Structure 1
Amino acid sequence: MIWEVFRQDQAGEYHTHCGNVHAPDRDMALMFAEIQHGRRKPTNSLWVVPQKEIGEVDTEDAKFGGTTDKSYRWAQSYSFEAAAEEVAESESEQVQAEAERQRGDD
């Protein structure tokens, strides 16, 4: 039986796939995974999963993110130039208004 092995470098990090082992049961798979994938690099934990139990959803099966336009969630989709021009115009209007108020007070 083939077991896929996922390794975590440090606590709190994601487990990443690092390979597989051939073993008749989970205990042997854990032992083989520790020997083959856990002893050469710093390892916090290992997961072993039967290869047959891993499912996959790819772009042929599903549309990731749905069909709704959600570009507003990403800062790259915003145009800041118009807003920057508006702020500059507003500041100059405020400076002008303040100058006119001061002339009226004199």
Structure 2
Amino acid sequence: MLTTTLELTADQFAAGTGWEIKPEGACKGEVCVPLGGGDFDLAATAERLGMAIVHDDTSGRWAIGPESLGDRALATAEAPELVLDDIDGNEFRLSSLRGKKVVIVSWAPY
């Protein structure tokens, strides 16, 4: 999930990650992870689900997730929705390639 703020509501978190916040915890399909109750706390929820939270100073954006199993492996091989501008400035959605084999190459200068 990409966002410009960490001030997200539980509904925004659910829309971006698929994890619905319920009284029993964060739930996705048949899996529920207890969160301890109280108001929605993005940082605590992400930590409990094994989601990284990374900030890019240049763009002012935050990347959240996806969840991991034991902090070592992705829970699924299904990529989350990603929307970026292509080289011509047109919106491109990763989901437009769903069902096709895709290789994603990324680079970071650090």
Tell me the TM-score normalized by structure 2: 0.20
Which is bigger in relative contact order (C-alpha 8 A, separation at least 6)?
1
Tell me the TM-score normalized by structure 1: 0.21
